[in-house]
Structure 1
Amino acid sequence: MNYEKIVLDLVTPIVDDKQSVSVKLMPTLDEREVLLYIYANSEDVARLIGRKGIMANALRQMMSVASRKEDKRITIKFESY
């Protein structure tokens, strides 16, 4: 399953600058963990996290449902530039 594309498809409609958003898959020591970093400008990261982290938690929950079939654990982190 291409987790990078799934997350990118979910976050692109939310942000203003669609060209500046990127999602990177990072290696981890645990083979069952999938670590994804979402890179965007600071305004878009604030929008993706949302008030009290509501948007970020919803995104994490949606991805955890998508990864259950492959018995993976998704970790999503946000970075601004």
Structure 2
Amino acid sequence: MVETIRDRLGRSATYNIVKGGYSNEQYREITCVINRLEDSKMKEIIHEIDKFAFVAVYDVAEVKGGNFKKHDIH
């Protein structure tokens, strides 16, 4: 999914291995910062790859540091 986000949105993403509190199963938790215009495209990508994915959307007031920039997808 991270590769598809990069290819289709031009955004990088980070994933961590996490353990479900109820199931004790390991999962990949993907974090990606996008703008509002990319929201529907991101949800479309997620649904295409995993129709049962758990998705949480947060409003972020500010992003600083790191390598936060949009890569050209054309």
Give the TM-score of the pair, scaled to structure 1.
0.45
Higher fraction of helix: 1
Higher strand share: 1
Q: TM-score, normalised by structure 2?
A: 0.48
